[in-house]
Chains A and B, each alone.
Chain A
Amino acid sequence: MKRIADVMSTSSGDVLAFVFALVAASASFAGDDPAAYAFPQLISALMLIFCGANLIRRSLARFAGEPVLTMQLAGKIAPGGAVIVVYVLFAEDVGFYLSAILAFFALSFLYGEHRRLSSIGIATGAVVGVLYLMFSVVLKVQVPREFFL
C-alpha cells in the first residue's frame, strides 16, 4: 500500500490553514459595514500573518516530516466516515432514534473485532434506550422522530 505522499503532501494541512485564512480575510475586508467588520478584519489579518509564518517555517524546515494521512489510514476510516456523513445528513428525516440505531449498529459492526450480531444488537438497544430515557423522558427534548416512537 502506498503511503501518504501519494495522497497528500506532508504540509497540506498548513496549506489548507493558509487558504482558510485567505478566504476569511477576503470575506472580512469585503464587508460593507466598517464598524461591524472591524473585529473580524483585525483577527483575519492576524490569522493570515500566523498561517503565512507557519507556511514559511514549514518550507524552511530541514526535515519534511513523516506523512500523516496514508492510503492505509484513509481506507480504514472511509467506511466509518461514510456512515457518519449519511447519519448526520439524514438523521432529521429518518428520525433520531431510528437513525441512531442504524448508525450505532453499522459502526459497531464495521469496526468490531468479532462482529457477533447478538452482542451488537444488545449494545445498540442499551445505548439507544439510555438516550431515549435521558433525552425524551428526563430532559423532555423534542427530537425529530418520523418513523420511530
Chain B
Amino acid sequence: MPDFLQYMGNVFEPFNFLILLLGTAGGLILGALPGLSPTMAVALLIPFTFHMEPTGGLILLGSVYTATVAGGAVSAILLRIPGAPANIATTLDGHRMVQQGRAAQALQLSFLSSGVGGLLGVLVLIFFTPVLAQWALGFGPSHLFWMAVLGVTVIASLASDSVVKGLAAGCMGLWISSIGYDGVQGVHRFTFTSHLDGGIHIIAALVGLFAVPQVIDMLARAPGRSSAASVQRHSLWQALRQVAGKPRTLAIGSVVGVIVGLVPGAGGQIAGLVAYDQSRKFSRMRDNYGKGEPEGLIAAETANNAMVGPSLVPLLTLSIPGSPTAAVLLGGLLIHGIFPGPDLFTDYPDVSWTFIDALLVGQVLMVVLGLALCRLAAKVILLPENYLAAAVMVLAVFGTYSVQNSYSDVLIMAVLGGGMWFLEKYGFGAGPLVLGIVLGPIAEQNFVYGRTIATAGDGVLPYFFTGTLNVILIAIIVASIAGSVALEIRARRQREREAAS
C-alpha cells in the first residue's frame, strides 16, 4: 500500500478532522477579508499550534494555508480587492462578472477550479516530490532574477491601459521595494522620513494600492448599491459543466501553478498571472479577457491553488520554502522539533504523511465549504456602498496595523492608496505596481548574488544572458511583451476601424 494511503485514516480521527474542518472554514473567511493574507493568517496561528500535538498543529496550518488562497478570491471577485497577492489575476475577470450581475457564477467557478487545481497540486506533492525537488534545486540566482522579471512583465502587459504604462508601473513597484534598509549591503536607501525606515511592507502596499482606490471609487458612486440588483442565483450543475468544459484552461492553470509552485522563492503571486496570460494567448475568446470572461477566472484560480501543494515540495524535502507562506510553515514545523529534509518521511512518516493527506482531504472540504460560503459571500455586495466603503476603510487600517503593530504602515498604506487612485484614473494598473513591490526583493537579492558570482567568473552579461534556462526565460519574457504589444495594436486598430465606420 502506498505510504500516503497508509496514513489516510489518521485524517479522519475526530480531533484531526475537526481541526481540518475548522481550519478550512476559518481560512476561507480569513482569506476573504481584504488585507488578511495567507502568510499572515498562518503566522498568526503558529502560536496557537504550539500547545497542540505536531500532527494537529500542522493540519491546522496546512488547511488554513490552502483555504486562505481560495478564500482570497471572494474579496477579489466581489470587491476587486485581492485577499492575497496570488489573487491579483482573479480580479481581472472575476470583478467584471460581478458588475455584469454574475457574482454567484463567478464564485462557483472560482471554488470549483480552485478545487481542481488544488487536488492536482497535492497529488504532485505526493507522487513527484523527490524528482521535482531535484529539478527546482537547479535554479540559480540568474534564473530566479529572470523569474521575478517575468512575473512583473506578465502582469504589466495585462493590468494597464497599455503595455508601456504597465511596464512603467511595474518599474515603480520594483523601485518602491528598494526603499528602506538594504539587507544585502546594510545601508538605508531613500528613507526621506522615519516612517520609511522599515521599508514598504507588502501588506501595507497590497491593502493601500487595492483597497483605498476602491473605497474612493465607492464613495464616488454612493449613494447606491454595487451591482446588487443584478445578482442572481446560478445553477451549481451549470457551473460544474462550465468548468469541466474547459480542459485546456484547467490544464494550463494546473501546469503553470505546479511549475511556479516548485520554484523556490517565486511565490504563488505570479502563478495566476502567468496562467491567465497563457490561457488568453491560447484562447479563441482572448478578446473577452478582462471583460468578464469565465476562462480567465478559471485559469487564474486553478493556477493559484495548483501552486500550493508543489510550493511545499522543496520545503519538505530540502528545507527550502517555495513561497512566503511556506517559509512561515517552516517555522511551524521547527517549533514542533520537526526538521524538514530528505529524512523527514523516514523519521516522521506519520506526521508528514498525515499532514499531506489532510491537505488532500482539505481540498474537497474547501470546495464544499466554499460553495456553501459563496451564497453568503455574494450577499456582501448587497450592502449599500457607503457602509461597504466605510467598513473596508476601517478594516484596512486595522488589518495593516496588525501586521507589525506599526502606525507607519497605516500612513504608507493611505499615501500609496491615494496616489494609486490618481494614477488609475490615467490608466496605470495597481497590479504591476504591487507585483513589483512583492517581487522586488527577490529580483534584487538574486541580481546582487548573480553579480557577485559573475564578477568572480565570466562576467555579468554571460552569467545573466547565457545558459539554456536563462535563454528560455528571457525568450518567454520577450515573447510575452511582444505578444501583448501585438494584441494592443490589433485592438487599437479595431477600435479605430469601428470609430471610422
Seen from chain A, the residues whose Cβ lies within 8 Å of a Cβ on chain B are 11-14, 16-17, 20-21, 24, 27-28, 31, 33, 35-40, 42-44, 46-47, 50-51, 53-54, 57, 68-69, 73, 76-77, 80-81, 84-85, 87-88, 91-92, 96, 100, 103-104, 107-108, 110-113, 123, 127-128, 131, 135, 139, 141-144
Contact = CB atoms under 8 A, between A and B. Distances in A.
B164 interface: yes
Nearest to A4: B425
A51 B156 CA distance: 13
A136 to B, nearest CB: 10
Given A20-B172, A87-B393, A113 B224 contact: yes
Interface in B199-238: 212, 215-216, 219-220, 222-224
B423 A100 contact: no
Contact of A104 (B219, B391, B425, B443): B391
Contact of B444 (A39, A77, A110, A142): A39
The 4 closest A-B pairs by CB, nearest first: A13-B426, A47-B171, A113-B223, A111-B222
Interface string B315-331: 00000000000000000
B164 A57 contact: yes
B386 A43 contact: no
B186 to A, nearest CB: 8
Interface in B159-177: 162, 164-165, 167-168, 171-172, 174-175
B385 A111 contact: yes
A18 B224 CA distance: 36
A96 B397 contact: yes
A62 B401 CA distance: 46
24 contacts: A16-B426, A21-B171, A35-B185, A36-B185, A38-B447, A39-B444, A43-B178, A47-B171, A54-B164, A69-B422, A77-B216, A77-B219, A77-B220, A80-B216, A80-B219, A88-B397, A92-B410, A100-B398, A107-B219, A111-B219, A111-B222, A112-B223, A113-B224, A141-B398
A74 to B, nearest CB: 10
Contacts of B426: 11-14, 16-17, 68
Contacts of A27: 190
A103 B390 contact: yes
Q: Which of A36, A43, A51, A141 has the most CB of B within 10 A?
A: A43
Contacts of B448: 35, 38-39
Chain B interface main SS type = helix
Nearest to A85: B414
Given A16-B423, A43-B174, A139-B44, A50 B220 contact: no
A49 to B, nearest CB: 9
Contacts of B172: 17, 20-21, 24, 47
Contacts of B389: 80, 107, 111
Interface in B319-354: none
Interface in B121-168: 162, 164-165, 167-168
Contacts of A35: 185, 448
Contacts of B494: none
Contacts of A54: 162, 164-165, 168
B189 A68 contact: no
B215 A84 contact: yes
Contacts of B387: 108, 123, 127
A131 B395 contact: yes
B384 interface: yes
B175 A135 contact: no
A14 B385 CA distance: 30
Given A76-B220, A104-B394, A50 B386 contact: no
Contacts of A139: 44, 402
Contacts of B443: 39
B15 interface: no
A27 B410 CA distance: 24
Contacts of B171: 21, 43-44, 46-47, 50
Given A85-B414, A131-B394, 20 more contacts: A20-B172, A38-B448, A44-B175, A46-B167, A47-B168, A50-B168, A54-B165, A57-B162, A68-B425, A84-B212, A92-B410, A96-B397, A96-B398, A96-B401, A100-B398, A103-B394, A111-B223, A112-B386, A143-B401, A144-B407
B398 A127 contact: no
A13 B185 contact: no
B390 A88 contact: no
B338 to A, nearest CB: 25
Contacts of A127: 387, 390-391, 394
Contact of B422 (A13, A24, A144): A13
Contacts of B168: 17, 21, 47, 50-51, 54
A37 B385 CA distance: 44
Contacts of B385: 111
A107 B386 contact: yes
A70 to B, nearest CB: 10
Nearest to A124: B390
Interface in B412-438: 414, 418, 422-423, 425-428
A14 B172 CA distance: 13
B401 A73 contact: no
A107 B391 CA distance: 9
A84 B222 CA distance: 16
B398 A131 contact: yes
